[in-house]
Amino acid sequence: MYQRRRNLVLRPDGRPVNVARPRGHLFVCASGCCCGRTEDGFAPVPAETFHREWERRRLRNIVHLTIGGCLGPCALANVTLLLFGSRARTASPSTTTARVPASPARVMGAPGGPRG
C-alpha cells in the first residue's frame, strides 16, 4: 500500500526542502504540432480546465500535471497520457471539456490508486 512520507532534499544553499514524490504523471498535449490548433481544424485543448480540476481534486501529491508539447500520435490530436504506478494507464484524445474531469477521476478510482 502506498504511504505518503517526507522526501527531504538539500538545496544548493544547504536548506532542506520537502519535495513531493507523486505516484503518477498526467501529460496533456496543448501546444504541439496539431494539439489545440483551431486554425488547422483541431479542437481547442481545455488546458485551464485540466489545471483547475487537478487543483480542485487535490491531486498535486498524487499525480504531477504537465501541460506541454507533442505526445503523438498526431492523427488523434489533443492527446492525454497518464502514467500511474510506472505503467501507461491511458492515452486518449481530450477533444471536449466534458472529458476533462474524467481524467483525474480515473486517477482517483484507478485500480491500485489512492481511492481505487
Report the CATH number that the domain containing residue 101 is assigned in CATH. 3.40.30
Q: What are phi and psi of 76, to 5 degrees?
A: -85, -40
Q: Is residue 10, in this structure, part of any structural domain at all?
A: no
Taking only the tens place, the pLDDT of each residue in 72-104 is 777 778 888 888 877 886 566 655 445 555 555
Q: Is residue 114, in this structure, part of any structural domain at all?
A: no
Cis omega before residue 73 (within 30°)?
Answer: yes
Q: Is residue 115, in this structure, part of any structural domain at all?
A: no
Taking only the tens place, the pLDDT of each residue in 21-43 is 788 888 988 888 888 888 988 88
> pLDDT band at 67, cuts 50/70/90?
very high
Q: Is residue 84, in this structure, part of any structural domain at all?
A: yes
How many domains does the chain fold into? 1
Q: Is residue 13, in this structure, part of any structural domain at all?
A: no
CA distance 91 to 80: 5
Q: Is residue 55, in this structure, part of any structural domain at all?
A: yes
Q: Is residue 3, in this structure, part of any structural domain at all?
A: no
Do 29 and 80 meet the contact criterion of CB atoms below 8 Å apart?
yes
Q: Is residue 16, in this structure, part of any structural domain at all?
A: no
Domain range for 50:
22-109
What's the mean per-residue pLDDT of the chain? 77
